[in-house]
Amino acid sequence: MDTLVYIMNFIRDKNVASITPTSSVGVKKVCSKIDFSRTDLIVEYGPGTGVFSKYLLGHMGEESRLILIERNRHFNSFLKRKINDPRVVLVQDSCENVLETLRKCKESEADYIISGIPFSFFDHDLKHRILYNTHRALKKGGKFLVYQTCFQTNNHLKNHLEKYFPVVTSKYEIANIPPMRTYVAIK
């Protein structure tokens, strides 16, 4: 059911960018970088049908918060019906406005920001606005965790991330279907 909703949105919105949701192998790989015992706030860009959100909520503490920023209104309605958890705030917006979202949620800085949005589809200015605001939205030492499917995985993002973050590593993950590239950028 979730996958069907996902594919329908892939067909009608080019910014969905990947034909299926991230596999559980991919979700675990990306989330293995998170220390859940020391996490108050996670922001997720582009949750889609919520495969990461579900995993995060299963591991986050009772007092922590998860802010989901999804641009696609169909995914937003789907997530509103699917997720009923007091720790979650769901926002229909573009993630370039993350600072405004944090302000509205009375939060200042996140421990982690997780993103599967299709950076390679964005023009130079939007890409840099998102990276600039993401850097500002993180705590010192906070991590920006990015995953991109194989259609967008030529490591193009590393140079852009390095303009904002002092430490950036990337890895090609073949076990996910389709394969993906993951990045960890530390503020």
For ligand SAM, the binding residues (CB under 6 A) are: 15-18, 21-22, 45-48, 51-52, 69-72, 75, 94-95, 116-118
For the bound state, the minimum distance from the C-beta of residue 9 to ligand SAM, rounded and expressed in Å, comes to 7
Q: Work out whether the CA dihedral 187, 88, 152, 125 comes out positive or negative.
A: negative
For the bound state, the minimum distance from the C-beta of residue 10 to ligand SAM, rounded and expressed in Å, comes to 8
Nearer to ligand SAM, 17 or 41 (CB): 17
For the bound state, the minimum distance from the C-beta of residue 47 to ligand SAM, rounded and expressed in Å, comes to 5
For the bound state, the minimum distance from the C-beta of residue 159 to ligand SAM, rounded and expressed in Å, comes to 20
Is 101 buried (19+), middle (13-18) or exposed (0-12) by CB count in 10 A? buried
Nearer to ligand SAM, 6 or 165 (CB): 6
Nearer to ligand SAM, 58 or 141 (CB): 58
Nearer to ligand SAM, 63 or 125 (CB): 125
Residues 6+ apart with CB under 8 A from 71: 15, 46, 92, 93, 94, 95
Nearer to ligand SAM, 126 or 167 (CB): 126
Instruction: State how far the alpha carbon of 114 is from the alpha carbons of 8, 12, 110, 173, in Å.
Output: 23, 24, 10, 16
Residues 6+ apart with CB under 8 A from 146: 114, 115, 116, 119, 157, 161, 182, 183, 184, 185
For the bound state, the minimum distance from the C-beta of residue 70 to ligand SAM, rounded and expressed in Å, comes to 5
By Cβ distance, which residue is nearest to ligand SAM? Answer: 46
